[in-house]
Structure 1
Amino acid sequence: MAKTPSNDRAAKAKKQLKAHQRAERRGSFMIVGVCAVVALLIVGAAAYRPVANWWDLRKFDDIDLASIGAPATVCGPEMVIPATGEQDHRDSGSIEYTTSPPIFGPHRSVPAAMERKFYGWDDRSELEQLVHNSEHGYTFLWYDQTVEDNSDEVDEIEGIGKKLQGTDNFRLKFKALPWYGAEEAEGDQTEWATDMQAGMEQIAELTGNEAPELEGGVHVALTHWAIDPEPAVGDAPELVAPTAEGEEEPTSYGVIQYCSAPSGEALKEFMLRWPYTNSTEPNAM
């Protein structure tokens, strides 16, 4: 018996309905699949950095720094003070800093390349540019004229720089560079300490303590610009500048450790305690 037009329409409608339902199911599966992929990417991204940090740290642990230079006992205690100058970019003019050598403050908008680890006495990058590197989580080893006049100690510092070569592992964010002391203070920059000894005394005063006495004087400084005043490992620093009553807590901190001579052992301990991850811009090179 021939189908009637009404039966044909019903069959056609039923077929269209089934096709629509299949399309909806495919769309639902696709949405679920996309959501699953996005979820995996989010979880993966969240897991990547801790895994990468662990891997970077493992590779950093393999670097033999402790055998270079003097033992860590040539260094005084770490000192922590409030920092300023985050995201304060100034591309012209000299900038007055408040510590000797500088730990933080306004800076140029473009940092120095990570590839360069050691700066000789006469070939240092612009100070204001290097402070931008500090904001990115670099550790600096500053040395003064006394060290420059000691070729053995300069060789040790250059050797430290060679141990920390590379740009793929951000644990290697490090620069060794000269500090010229009084020559750095130009124009109205009269508040700067003229040498590291005076710089140590100024910072110790901010923490409410007397400056430690280092046998042989103060000729090297390790610095780091941190977002958290608590170190990644070990005990909290003893010399921390208190926040004045009524003032807001600082949003970042300057960490400095003065030494009488270069010490790879002290540097490694310092970089483990204050890694690049503890900075305001850790993922910027």
Structure 2
Amino acid sequence: MLSPLSHSSGIFLLFALSGAVTACDTGLGLGGTEVVKGCNAEAQTCIPSSRAVYAYAEAYPDSDSEVSISLASSPWHLYGPDGRMMQVEELAAVIRPHINEATERVVLLGSWTGGGDRPLAQRLSKALDGMPVLGADGFLWLSPDGSTRLTKQAYTARNGSGYYEVAEGDEVLVPLAHGWAAGMEQRFIDGGDAELLLHAAIGWDVFYLCREKALDGFELAAEHGVAIAAYNAALMRIERNEEGDRAAARRLLEQAASQGDTKSRDLLAEMND
């Protein structure tokens, strides 16, 4: 779990699509503003947002006919608990043992898994031999009872900045639980906090919906020695496939493999075949 960072007072606007994040061009039809409630530690019981996501997802009303899984996600990428990007086939391998004759569908409790040009839910369904997969076409909010709602805001306003906590009983904005660190990136650079730079890069992807900033962030974390960040950056380079991307991806994978990262070593071997 990430260590809490200090809060500042007042309203802090996080611009999912603003002049400050000029590389972002989602085509997702975002609009309007959503307000995220803050938590006053002097008057309320504050819960780390990551813990709230876990607890609320556990409360999601499962049934014998449904398999649900909670994960950080953007319209383009899925992330495991260690911050590593997961290929759709990898997630399918995790889910497949839990599917039986009674299973009618899989539910992805992750933002934007049902949105974009090539919905992740649709691709996962194909990997699961046609099993219906329900994904979210928007930012996912979870309530303590496991109920959900979706929004498509262009701007998110919250009381305070930095580490995201919720008051006991309040809903949690799932992508902000994973994405708050993006707004603190310069602080992590100044402090040399390599692992938090990895989380900042994830935040650019899952909350700000900005792939180019995410790629920059992963490569920055890779420069600070984070093998998972190098792996993620390599996947994004391969995915983008512009001039020089494959060579850059190879260098990133070689770096991560030299640090003992087995997935990077395996992907590098695939590229060399």
- For the criterion TM > 0.5, the same-fold answer is no
Which structure has the higher relative contact order (CA within 8 Å, separation 6+)? 1
Task: Calculate the TM-score normalised by the size of structure 2.
Answer: 0.25
The structure with the largest strand share of the pair is 2
Task: Calculate the TM-score normalised by the size of structure 1.
Answer: 0.24
Larger radius of gyration: 1
